[in-house]
Amino acid sequence: MAKAKTIHTCTECGGQTLKWQGQCPHCTAWNTLVETIAEKSSGSRYQSVAEASKLQKLADVEAREEPRRPTGIDELDRVLGGGLVTGAVVLIGGDPGIGKSTLLLQALAILGASCNAIYVSGEESAQQIALRARRLAVDASALNLLAEIQLEKVLSVLTAQKPDVAVIDSIQTVYSEALQSAPGSVAQVRECAAQLTRFAKSSGTSLLLVGHVTKEGALAGPRVLEHMVDAVLYFEGDTHSSFRLVRAVKNRFGAVNELGVFAMTERGLRGISNPSALFLSHHETQVAGSCVMVTQEGSRPLLVEVQALVDEAHAPNPRRLSVGLEPNRLAMLLAVLHRHAGIAAFDQDVFVNAVGGVKIDEPAADLPVLLAIVSSLRNRPLPEKLVAFGEIGLAGEVRPVQRGQERLREAAKLGFKLAIIPKANAPRTAIEGIEVVSVERVEEAVARVR
């Protein structure tokens, strides 16, 4: 096969050069030129996968529900929005060893029994996969296996087999002959993903791509991968604990931020359908610097303990560290605490942590984090059986969050007795078993836990 001509394209401005250079000559950005296949003059490479488009009224377009194929794993289906959509491409990212291959093998073993499923593995040999299937005790006898990393060969098998579902494990190991760069490089990942996506759209195969995550937590390879695919799922969780969370950060066919919760057992990943109490650490007696919050993950409320440690700083620049919570918001909260509640922490190191390796990015964590900080600073535990949620604004106001009632009801169900929440979230009728304290301002909230 003749080598296709390659060219270097800038990821910022799209400018092209024949040779690689450190700086793009068009937009002067550094290190943005990546190798791509030179476009043929016919332009067929970028032909749309849809049929030739004609102008039409939106009302004339038949809006039918995409047919979904449930994977048979309830928690995965929940994240996907009900199942795999025909022709959809789903990217699954996560740290190495977190359970991506395990989950997909479990799903494909179930799917393989009712439809044509292919597992393409570039990371493990067929024997290793067979061994894992045996450990998982799944019946994968009907599953088709392909140990191959060359894109052209993978595509020819897929084209011949026309599977209903295919897994590529992983996109970083696949390489195309047409490019000279090494497998896993930005150019290879992008080109392979683009070709596979085109195949999925034209054939109707549901495609699951596994992607590795770099140390910084971003998907290795270009961000453009996230734009190309229909859904992006991330594995979260502490590899030291047995809980794994699968979060949808993008989903064209379902709700985003839906969360699937699993436990890693010796028989693979097991779904947890009622995870609300999973992220509470059970203290014998109440300790200082700990506050339980109710976060809303997709359609389910989840109770998470946030911890803070405030300690005298011995360096000129006090440390601010947050695990599982937004670091910038921590700095903001400390400023609000000083300005509006008169509590200074500029000479203190502040550490905050969300228990269980869960990542919370909703602003409802503001109030609980603030209360935990105050509790640690005063070295006095918060009231027993307390939950809190609420967003804090720069003016010191406590803003409402979505679905306050649902959060309160879940907390009451788990035996919490007291809730400090934003005024606008206060329920009109009392919720049985829980006393609700609604506050408008930060200083009020701080005064309530004295």
Which residue, among 209, 259, 251, 223, has the nearest Cα to 360 in the 3D structure? 259
> Closer CB to ligand TYD, residue 109 or residue 364?
109
For the bound state, the minimum distance from the C-beta of residue 97 to Mg ion, rounded and expressed in Å, comes to 8
Integer Cα distance of 225 and 253 in angstroms: 17
The DSSP bridge pattern shows strands 68-69 and 84-85 to be antiparallel
What does 122 bind: ligand TYD, Mg ion, none (CB cut-off 5 to 8 Å by kind)? none
For the bound state, the minimum distance from the C-beta of residue 119 to Mg ion, rounded and expressed in Å, comes to 11
Name which of residues 232 to 271 contact ligand TYD (CB under 6 A). Answer: 264, 266-268
> Closer CB to ligand TYD, residue 96 or residue 433?
96
- E strands of 138-188, at which residues? 144-147, 165-169
Name which of residues 81 to 120 contact Mg ion (CB under 5 A). Answer: 101
- The reply on whether position 135 binds ligand TYD by CB under 6 A is yes
> Closer CB to ligand TYD, residue 216 or residue 266?
266
- The reply on whether position 36 binds ligand TYD by CB under 6 A is no
For the bound state, the minimum distance from the C-beta of residue 12 to ligand TYD, rounded and expressed in Å, comes to 31
For the bound state, the minimum distance from the C-beta of residue 101 to ligand TYD, rounded and expressed in Å, comes to 3
C-alpha of 206 from chain center: 20
Segment lying near ligand TYD (by CB under 6 A), choices 46-54, 91-99, 109-117, 181-189:
91-99
Distances (CA, A) of 380 to 416, 417, 449: 19, 19, 9
> Closer CB to ligand TYD, residue 133 or residue 386?
133
- The reply on whether position 94 binds ligand TYD by CB under 6 A is yes
Cross-strand partners of 194: none
> Closer CB to Mg ion, residue 107 or residue 439?
107
- The reply on whether position 134 binds ligand TYD by CB under 6 A is no
For the bound state, the minimum distance from the C-beta of residue 104 to ligand TYD, rounded and expressed in Å, comes to 8
Which residue, among 228, 225, 227, 201, has the nearest Cα to 211 in the 3D structure? 225
Integer Cα distance of 441 and 420 in angstroms: 11
CB count within 10 Å of CB 397 equals: 17
Integer Cα distance of 240 and 245 in angstroms: 13
> Closer CB to Mg ion, residue 101 or residue 205?
101
For the bound state, the minimum distance from the C-beta of residue 124 to ligand TYD, rounded and expressed in Å, comes to 8
Query: Sheet containing 386-388: which strands, arranged edge to edge?
Result: 320-323, 348-354, 300-312, 290-297, 386-388, 418-422, 435-439
Residue 105, both tokens: 């093998």
Cross-strand partners of 433: none
Which residue, among 343, 307, 339, has the nearest Cα to 323 in the 3D structure? 307
Residue from 14, 96, 217, 433 touching ligand TYD (CB under 6 A): that is: 96
For the bound state, the minimum distance from the C-beta of residue 102 to Mg ion, rounded and expressed in Å, comes to 8
The DSSP bridge pattern shows strands 398-399 and 320-323 to be unpaired
> Closer CB to Mg ion, residue 22 or residue 97?
97
Segment lying near ligand TYD (by CB under 6 A), choices 96-104, 270-278, 285-293, 307-315:
96-104
What does 132 bind: ligand TYD, Mg ion, none (CB cut-off 5 to 8 Å by kind)? ligand TYD
> Closer CB to Mg ion, residue 124 or residue 349?
124
172 within 8 A of 183, measured Cβ to Cβ: yes
Residue 302, both tokens: 């989840």
- Please tell me what DSSP assigns to residue 32: -
Judged by the rule CB under 6 A, the positions of this chain that interact with ligand TYD are: 94, 96-102, 132, 135-136, 264, 266-268
Q: Which residues bind Mg ion (CB under 5 A)?
A: 101
